[in-house]
Amino acid sequence: MFAVISDIHSNLEALTVVLEDIEKRGIDTIYCLGDVIGYGPDPKQCLDLIIEKTKWCVLGNHDYASFYEPTNFNYGAEQAAFWTRDVLENEPDKALRDKRWEFLGSLPMRHTCRITLAGTEVATDFVHASPRKPINEYIFPDDVYTNPVKVQILFEKVEHICFVGHTHLPGVFLDEPDFYLPSELGDEYPIIKDERAIINVGSVGQPRDKDPRAGYVYVEDNMVNFVRLEYDIDAVTEKIIAVGKLDNFHAERLFEGR
């Protein structure tokens, strides 16, 4: 069994609830698809938990933005990236400061492996955004109707299964192309031989599918299970509003899941 989490966005309250749920299920292998930081008020605590609790993590565009530079960010996201960088730079404990920067600076763009699920070996890719452009390319559910060729081209890069985050919209893409919401799948998708899938695990700290609950997936045997959990949104939004340099919109959107 393993869990895949993504897009925490410095939301400690959501991350804590998700990690507790994973532990309750007896899962001790956690993979992270990036965007640990950005938007939210607790970058240090979230980085420390991800370093401690996950087996590995890949690089997200917001991690890139704070460590290197923001690219194609709107004003609010860019301000959040610079504020996050300040917070990390102003950490007085040198060992902690170095540990976090070294973690951010060494995140790979992709993790590829073969996993045995219910007796079948599954070629699995883990990226933040897309198999073609692992840090920045959005794969939206609507793309299967508005840009099917794009989705088909993306599937040329997928040997069998690719886990992604980035859009904060959970669900499963098949190579028809097709897209299925977790609710259309009964919140579970079976990984089967000869069916390629791009699986979006959703977002821990900033869901955008109109459901404000924190999201992640865990895989048991060959079944991908989509999980949603309530958390203390008031607590995180109060902290966002208290930080003058974080746009209040980053707080408001959490209540609506957008």
Provide the token pair at 197.
């899938």
| Interacting residue with Fe ion among 4, 5, 7, 179 (CB under 5 A) | 7
Which sign, positive or negative, has the C-alpha torsion 18, 19, 21, 25?
positive
Smallest separation, CB 249 to Fe ion (Å): 15
Number of residues counted as binding Fe ion (CB under 5 A): 2
Tokens 């194609």, residue? 72
Provide the token pair at 155.
């599937």
Where is 180: in which H helix or E strand?
Answer: strand 178-180
Residue 39 contacts residue 79 (beta carbons within 8 Å):
no
Tokens 């991800």, residue? 50
- Residue 209 binds Fe ion, judged by CB under 5 A: no
Smallest separation, CB 38 to Fe ion (Å): 7
User: Of 19-27, 29-37, 192-200, 208-216, which segment contacts Fe ion by CB under 5 A?
Assistant: 29-37
Return the DSSP state at 224: E
What letter represents residue 88's amino acid?
A: L
- By beta-carbon distance, which residue lies closest to Fe ion? 35
Smallest separation, CB 220 to Fe ion (Å): 26
Question: Can you say whether residue 34 is alpha, beta or left, with left for phi > 0 and alpha for psi between -120 and 50 degrees?
Answer: left
Residue among 7 and 137 whose Cβ is closer to Fe ion: 7
Q: What SS3 state is found at 239?
A: helix
Smallest separation, CB 128 to Fe ion (Å): 8
User: Of 4-12, 13-21, 72-80, 100-108, which segment contacts Fe ion by CB under 5 A?
Assistant: 4-12
Smallest separation, CB 168 to Fe ion (Å): 6
| Interacting residue with Fe ion among 35, 63, 137, 247 (CB under 5 A) | 35
Give the binding site for Fe ion (CB under 5 A): 7, 35
